[in-house]
Amino acid sequence: MKANEKETIIKLTIIGWWGAYPGAGQATSGYLLQTSQHNILLDCGSGVLGQIQTYLDLEHIDAVVLSHYHHDHIADLGCLQYAARVLMDLGKRETPLEIYGHAEDHHFADLSYHEFTVGRAIDTQTELQIGEAVFKFWPNVHPDPCYSMRVQSDNKVLAYISDTQWDDGLVTAARDADILICESSLYDEYKGVVGGHLTAGEAGTIAQEANAKRLVLSHLPHFGKHVDLVAQAATVFNGPVELAETGKSWEL
């Protein structure tokens, strides 16, 4: 390595970015986090299993970390468990796939599937280490239990704010993040009208107050012009704002 080349600590690739249901040939929430040692899938929404194979063979997924159990974040999980079974039967995978999620309701039991996948509990007390990546979790404000996550590897930080309405703690979750992936389900006109989700302006406010270096809007709505979300977030955030797009990636 040349002296001026820096080693990539974290690579993040958008696999799916729609809220609620996917657009044609696309996917709802799914983000591929890669360190030099591990491939970790954050959320496993509808369409993610097909999309992710553009970037990674399924046997190379080391772990899955789930924000919550709404369909647009877990719809492909059952098929991923079948994939783990098939890949172990074929000898392509030797160890069960670890799936991390909260244990606050009955869905947690579904994360374990015979000897092929194993569920592991997360909460705000958990500091989860997967190789070089250290996860911390923040409680969201959403109709069902849901967590945002902050992932640190060396001195690089990724924050993923999943489904939530405004909460001051989210700023702490995103503090000084190199990249903030933030749900932006709502245009600013819907602030205070629809609960459980953030407006683009609120996503921008989190990024600004947290001193995030970059803001990526995701979990996008099925109406309006998404470019307006960028404009609304940019009225409060001084740094770069962009929309999540399938396959878009960043190296930190």
By the criterion CB under 5 A, which residues form the site for Zn ion?
Answer: 70, 72, 163
Q: How far is the CB of 69 from Zn ion (least distance, A)?
A: 8
Cα 25 from Cα 157, distance rounded (Å): 30
Those residues whose C-beta lies under 8 Å from the C-beta of residue 145, and which sit 6 or more positions away, are 68, 102, 104, 105, 139
Nearer to Zn ion, 45 or 204 (CB): 45
User: Phi and psi (nearest 5°) for 5?
Assistant: -90, 130
Nearer to Zn ion, 59 or 163 (CB): 163
Q: How far is the CB of 42 from Zn ion (least distance, A)?
A: 13
- Relative orientation angle of helices 200-210 and 226-234, to the nearest 10 degrees: 40
- Do residues 113 and 81 make contact, with C-beta atoms less than 8 angstroms apart? yes
- Do residues 229 and 200 make contact, with C-beta atoms less than 8 angstroms apart? yes
Nearer to Zn ion, 85 or 219 (CB): 219
Tell me which amino acid residue 12 is.
L
Nearer to Zn ion, 69 or 135 (CB): 69
Q: How far is the CB of 212 from Zn ion (least distance, A)?
A: 21
Q: How far is the CB of 225 from Zn ion (least distance, A)?
A: 20
| Beta sheet of 39-42, edge-to-edge order | 117-122, 97-102, 63-65, 39-42, 30-34, 11-16, 249-251
Q: How far is the CB of 17 from Zn ion (least distance, A)?
A: 11
Nearer to Zn ion, 86 or 103 (CB): 103
